[in-house]
């Protein structure tokens, strides 16, 4: 099975290049909105597009992926809320195993159902240990997954969970406070998890300012994911990319000197 995208993510992580993913929830945008985001994504060189949602009520997802594939020059990665969100038109899919929870359907059940479809799809499969972190409110993903998120102030639980995910062979860890979280995952927890694993770390949920994003990157996130804040204000993409670029420049100038 191909792993070109994973190698790129891993290479960037190993070399300390911070990356940015913009999450597009197909329920929250229309055609014009996707095109507007795509222009900014191309102009400011976002690294990845994630698309999907905990619960999708419209039938825009496949059109959304089609528009993105025609307009952006970067990988379009499905971030699925359930097996109905598998679309062969994308480049890859985060095959999420919800390792912070104890719901067997989200640890293995849905994967069994989706496996034959995924096999035929041609999508690059990115096996991902998905960890929900408490964020000050019940997010859609917490409700829909019927699981208890890791308490906000328990970095030890988060780090042991991530280690177990890596030992089980998962290729990425995604720590998510959930879309629209009141508070993002704490830098302390990110730092602890990053120090415990060697696979790339994705962090998202509730990131509303460039400072929030910078704190997550500095604490150890390889990929920061932003959804809501860019949906309501697409020009925020420019600010996020500039922050990423400044951090990458600073790190690499420091390493070279
Ligand atoms: C949610 O991590 C993503 O799963 C992004 O969250 O929409 O709050 O940015 P936001």
pLDDT digits (tens, 9 = 90+) for 87-136: 999 999 999 999 999 999 999 999 999 999 999 999 999 999 999 999 98
Ligand 1 within 6 A of CB of 94: no
Q: Is the pLDDT of residue 198 over 80?
A: yes
- pLDDT, tens digit, for every residue of 16-62? 999 999 999 999 999 999 999 999 999 999 999 999 998 888 889 99
pTM over 0.95: yes
The whole-number pLDDT of residue 256 equals 65
Contact at 8 Å (CB) between 93 and 60?
no
Residue 179 Cβ < 6 Å to ligand 1: yes
Please, which pLDDT band fits residue 237 given cuts at 50, 70 and 90?
very high
Residue 208 phi, psi (nearest 5): -115, -15
pLDDT of the residue at 255: 65
The full set of domain ranges for the chain reads 4-125+202-256
The pLDDT of residue 2: 83
Q: At what angle do helices 61-71 and 31-44 cross, to 10 degrees?
A: 30
If one residue of 50, 53, 178 were mutated to test the ligand 1 pocket, choosing by the most ligand atoms within 8 A of its CB, it would be 178
Ligand 1: residue of 24, 183, 227 to mutate (most ligand atoms within 8 A of CB) is 227
The region that residue 220 occupies, defined by phi over 0 for left and psi between -120 and 50 for alpha, beta otherwise, is left
CA distances from 94 to 19, 97, 211, 227, 257 (A): 16, 9, 26, 16, 37
Distance, CA of 153 to CA of 164 (rounded, Å): 19
Ligand 1 neighbour 142 (Cβ under 6 A): no
**Which CATH code of 3.20.20.390, 3.40.50.2300, 3.40.50.1000, 3.40.50.720 fits the domain covering 4-125+202-256?**
3.20.20.390
**Strand residue runs (E) in the chain:** 19-24, 48-51, 76-78, 92-98, 124-132, 172-176, 201-204, 223-226
Residue 199 has pLDDT above 80, yes or no: yes
Judged against a pLDDT cut of 80, whether residue 254 lies above it is answered with no
Identify the pLDDT of residue 176.
98
Average pLDDT over residues 1-7: 91
257 pLDDT higher than 60: no
pLDDT of residue 253: 77
- Across 206-229, average pLDDT: 98
**In sequence order, what are the residues at sequence separation of 6 or more whose Cβ sits closer than 8 angstroms to the Cβ of residue 70?**
none
Selection from 5, 21, 2, 4 nearest residue 222 by Cα: 21
The tens digit of pLDDT for each residue in 130-180 reads: 999 999 889 999 999 999 999 999 999 999 999 999 999 999 999 999 999
Q: Which residues contact 238 (CB under 8 A, 6 or more apart)?
A: 40, 43, 44
Average pLDDT value for residue range 187-216 = 98
User: 30 by DSSP, 3-state: which?
Assistant: coil
The verdict on the CB of residue 229 being under 6 Å from ligand 1 is: yes
The pLDDT mean for the chain works out to 96
Ligand 1 center–CA 256 separation, angstroms: 34
């Amino acid at each position: 099975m191909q792993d070109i995208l994973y190698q790129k993510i891993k290479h960037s992580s190993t070399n300390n290049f911070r990356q940015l993913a913009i999450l597009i929830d197909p329920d929250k945008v229309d055609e014009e909105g996707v095109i507007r985001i795509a222009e900014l994504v191309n102009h400011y060189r976002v690294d990845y597009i994630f698309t999907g949602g905990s619960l999708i009520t419209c039938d825009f997802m496949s059109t959304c992926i089609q528009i993105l594939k025609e307009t952006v020059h970067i990988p379009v990665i499905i971030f699925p809320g359930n097996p109905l969100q598998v679309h062969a038109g994308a480049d890859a899919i985060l095959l999420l195993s919800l390792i912070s929870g104890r719901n067997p359907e989200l640890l293995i059940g849905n994967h069994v159902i989706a496996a034959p479809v995924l096999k035929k799809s041609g999508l690059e499969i990115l096996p991902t240990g998905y960890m929900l972190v408490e964020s000050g409110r019940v997010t859609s993903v917490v409700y829909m997954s019927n699981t208890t998120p890791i308490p906000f102030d328990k970095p030890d639980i988060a780090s042991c969970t991530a280690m177990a995910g890596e030992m089980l062979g998962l290729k990425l860890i995604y720590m998510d406070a959930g879309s629209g979280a009141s508070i993002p995952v704490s830098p302390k927890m990110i730092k602890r998890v990053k120090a415990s694993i060697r696979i790339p770390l994705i962090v998202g949920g509730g990131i509303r300012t460039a400072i929030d994003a910078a704190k997550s990157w500095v604490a150890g996130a390889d990929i920061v994911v932003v959804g809501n804040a860019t949906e309501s204000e697409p020009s925020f993409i420019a600010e996020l990319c500039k922050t990423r670029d400044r951090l990458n420049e600073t790190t690499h100038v420091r390493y070279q000197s």
